[in-house]
Chain A
Amino acid sequence: MAHDAFITEETIEGDPDGPLAGRTVAVKDNISTEGVRTTCGSAMLESYVPPYDATVVTRLKEAGATVVGKTNMDEFGMGTTTETSAFGATTNPVDPERVPGGSSGGSAAAVAAGEADLALGSDTGGSIRCPAAFCGVVGIKPTYGLVSRYGLVAYANSLEQIGPLAPTVEEAAELLDVIAGPDERDATTREAGAESDYASAAVGDVEGLTLGVPTELLDGAEEAVVDAFEEALDAYRDAGASVEEVSLPSLEYGVAAYYVIAMSEASSNLARFDGVRYGESGGFEGNWNETFAETRASNFGEEVKRRVLLGTFALSAGYHDEYYERAQDARAWVRRDFDVAFEDVDVIASPTMPVLPPRLGESLDDPLRMYLADANTVPVNLANLPAISVPAGESPDGLPVGLQLVGPKFAEARVVNAGALLA
């Protein structure tokens, strides 16, 4: 297909009836599909075929959806551009010289190009919202515990959720209604979402709603992004909402806290890829440790190695207190800052990404710069909150800009309602 949105194209028919009957859904390739290979964008899992479906895939089938393929992604979800995939880059349907964002870049590109009606992505630090913003579609990162992670190949368990991408807020909410709700196979799921009807909340009635704008999340943003964001805020004012500045000083530490925690969890989660139980085996000679180290060296890409090594370092003797413990303190601070802010405002608004979609190849040489581009999305994962990215307008060159709206825990209906004003 034109934008290389898919790693594997395969039709999986759902039940004949259901709320998603007749709709096509693209599924990110870190979500297990029985009998259909699930690579996580990694050479390590190039030929891995799951023997079971993720809970969200079971629910898609029961809802009558047709799965049309497994979408490209940054390797194990580690990236902001979908360029770290072992299967090559996906291009942005809006401008083929630019990245679609990541890590769920294939899912966003498939929806933006009309190659699927809807898509599932996963969001550990912005991986649904970033590509939604860059491709001009809607993406929702649900409250932690709203959607089952059973069958999602883990990158950083304490941060990630599966969520929908769609052309409109209402369609994204319809897909969220299908996948939300408790699952006995994921002990972190809650009762919330069991009988949800988020789709009917997608009306855009913002009369009397208060949007809080954290000054910290505008400081580093590009001018074209800020301009589109301000225009979107005007649309909210015109529709009867009020906008006020809020300050969340902890957000300055969000990127550092997020990466320390995510890398630490990744170093543990990815220890399972040893080429014995599943995954590529090097067939190398030597003892257990030497064989593992060679298999992992040849089948993990650069960004995965970087995160696994930094995570191992952050958890290692002598450094654990300095990095991991402090990151947990920062996480608690971020949570508290949001709680305090929600005493005064209904939703928190910011640009989803502080930058426009970069050109292909532009971001890979400077990892820290790439991490800092996640400044607006990672605090939401640290605080376990729901957030939506909706198209907010365009830069003068026609590149999409996303508006992020964050709500209190399990207030999905509120962010869906507010987001529906724009899409």
Chain B
Amino acid sequence: MSDSPVDDEEVRHVAGLARVDLSAADVERFTDQFAEILAHFETLEEVPDVESEPDRVNVMRADEVEESLDQDEALANAPEREDGFFKGPKVS
């Protein structure tokens, strides 16, 4: 599909935005598959404008202190922790 919006460069760009490393083989495979899948998604061009009445209400409540997980429970699944905090990689 020559008019596909995705080439290998676009797949690498999107993978960067999504923070997922891809191998060269992944990029090649996804580029082909995305062309086919996006061609199907493009049928949405034929969808007429539809007036929709969103069935939404704001659900508000008072901001009150309630019982919640304690710090140890909240940190229990962290691969690394330090002094009661999550420990992550370097920011830059």
Q: B65 at interface (Cβ–Cβ under 8 A)?
A: no
Q: What is the chain B residue whose CB lies nearest that of A281? A: B79
Contact (Cβ within 8 A) A294 B21: yes
Which B residues touch A367, using CB under 8 A?
Answer: 33, 37
- The CA of A360 and the CA of B76, in the complex, are separated in Å by 37
A308 (CB) vs chain B CBs: closest residue: B18
Task: Decide yes or no whether B1 CB sits under 8 A from chain A.
Answer: no
On whether the beta carbons of A277 and B77 are closer than 8 Å, the reply is yes
> Are B50's CB and A309's CB within 8 A?
no
Docked complex Cα distance between A278 and B88 (Å): 11
Q: Is A155 an interface position by the 8 A CB rule? A: no
Q: In the complex, what residues of B have CB within 8 A of residue A309's CB?
A: 11, 14-15, 18, 20, 30, 34
Cβ contacts under 8 Å, A235 to chain B? none
A330–B76 contact, CB under 8 A? no
What's the least CB distance linking A255 to chain B, in Å?
7
- CA–CA, A277 to B88, complex, Å? 8
Tell me how far the C-beta of B47 lies from the nearest C-beta in chain A, rounded to whole angstroms: 5
The verdict on A287 contacting B19 (CB below 8 Å), with A281-B80, A336-B52 known, is no
Q: Which of B17, B19, B21, B33 contacts A306 (CB 8 A)?
A: B33
Bound form: Cα–Cα A187–B6 in Å = 38
Could you tell me the distance between the alpha carbons of A162 and B50 in the complex, rounded to whole angstroms?
29
B84 in the interface (beta carbon within 8 A): no
One of A271, A293, A313, A371 near B21 (C-beta < 8 A): A293
Contact status of A332 and B73, CB under 8 A, knowing A253-B47, A287-B89, A288-B89: no
Shortest beta-carbon distance from A270 to chain B in Å? 9
Q: Name the one of A276, A290, A294, A322 contacting B88, with C-beta atoms under 8 angstroms.
A: A276
Q: Mark A30-52, 1 if CB is under 8 A from B, else 0.
A: 00000000000000000011011
Q: Of the listed stretches A69-77, A256-264, A414-422, name the one at the interface; the rest are far from the partner chain.
A: A256-264
Q: Is A150 interfacial (CB-CB < 8 Å)?
A: no
The answer to whether A313 touches B6 (Cβ under 8 A) is yes
Q: Does A397 contact B (CB under 8 A)?
A: no
Within 8 A of B (CB), among A260-275: 260, 267, 271, 274-275
A276 adjacent to B79 (CB under 8 Å): yes
Contact residues of B between 24 and 43, Cβ < 8 Å to A: 26, 30, 33-34, 36-38, 40-43
Q: Are A255 and B40 in contact (CB under 8 A)?
A: yes
Could you tell me the distance between the alpha carbons of A249 and B47 in the complex, rounded to whole angstroms? Answer: 10
Inter-subunit contact B69/A280 (CB<8 Å): no
Q: Is the CB of B19 within 8 A of A267?
A: no
Residues of A in contact with B (beta carbons under 8 Å apart):
48-49, 51-52, 184, 187, 250, 252-253, 255-257, 259-260, 267, 271, 274-281, 283-284, 286-294, 296-297, 300, 305-306, 308-310, 312-314, 316, 319, 322-323, 326-327, 329-330, 332-333, 335-336, 367-368, 371
> Beyond A367-B37, A368-B33: 12 further Cβ-contacts under 8 Å?
A253-B47, A257-B44, A271-B18, A271-B19, A283-B79, A294-B21, A296-B19, A296-B21, A309-B20, A329-B49, A330-B47, A333-B47
Across the A-B interface, give the 4 residue pairs with the lowest CB-CB distance, nearest first: A332-B52, A281-B79, A278-B77, A297-B21
